[in-house]
Structure 1
């Protein structure tokens, strides 16, 4: 503190204390709400129930498949399910997430998931898998527990 007071001769210890308090107050006022509002990344996906989910392709009449997921996070890479990919979160709100991911040597994708309930989401994904483009929109609904 002595060094600071020597550097700024017109600065008294009392004035320095006031500046410190004002700075702390400004930090709490402006950064406090942001820090308090933070939640785990992609928390919406963690609200989805594990189990068997039916994927209904919205662009293909009658196009349906079933997948077993232990976490809603698995829906992000629905076209690269078994790949180890790097991801970047583009949007993360209480009812929607968008994630861009890159799978070295096997393409990339960007997936948006919109939450309707713990058993129903809307999914849109597009990218490149195995050298081919994909663009996929689906309703994804939990239909029960996973079968062995």
Structure 2
């Protein structure tokens, strides 16, 4: 009985420790599948913005691009995941991304930027090389 309790406790400890290590990472595994280059992010209302993606991890903090932010990985799967992040003095956010193919993503982000709320939903498609 004690042996099985110890084994079960060891398994739980290993799972919790593994989760804690994964949760402290800076990015999402699925982003390694995304091709670098120019991407067009299209909102449901048809508005679009083009960005040059040199590092797919930048997609996680779109509203706070270029800021020094700490990230916490909430979900990390082969096809996407979710992070929360904090950019001291600027704002914070929550981003969920799904990688459909290396050239197609779905991205949802929301949070606070310079004291104002934001929420965006995009379909992203790679449209070429950065110019």
Normalized against structure 1, the TM-score is what?
Answer: 0.71
Equivalent residue, structure 2, for 1:115: 99
Higher strand share goes to which structure? 2
1:68-105, Cα deviation, whole Å (9 max, x unpaired): 01121110001000110001000001112101000000
User: How many pairs were matched up?
Assistant: 118
Counterparts of 1:82 and 1:123, CA distance in 2? 18
Q: Which residues of structure 2 form unaligned runs of 5+?
A: none
Asked if the contact 2:82/2:97 (under 8 Å) is kept, the reply is: yes
Q: Which runs of 4+ in 1 moved over 3 A?
A: 38-41
The higher relative CO (CA closer than 8 Å, separation ≥ 6) is in 2
| 1:48–1:71 Cα contact (<8 Å) kept | no
**TM-score of the superposition, structure 2-length normalised?**
0.80
- Which among 111, 123, 126 is matched to residue 142 of structure 1? 126
Shift of 1:129: 0.8
Q: Which of 30, 41, 55 is the aligned partner of 1:71?
A: 55
Segments of 5+ residues of structure 1 without an aligned counterpart are: 1-21
Contact 1:49/1:71 (<8 A) preserved: no
| 2:46 paired with 1:54 | no
Structure 1 CA distance for aligned equivalents of residues 81 and 57 of structure 2:
10
Once superposed, what is the RMSD of the aligned Cα atoms? 2.5
Equivalent position of 1:19 in the other structure = none
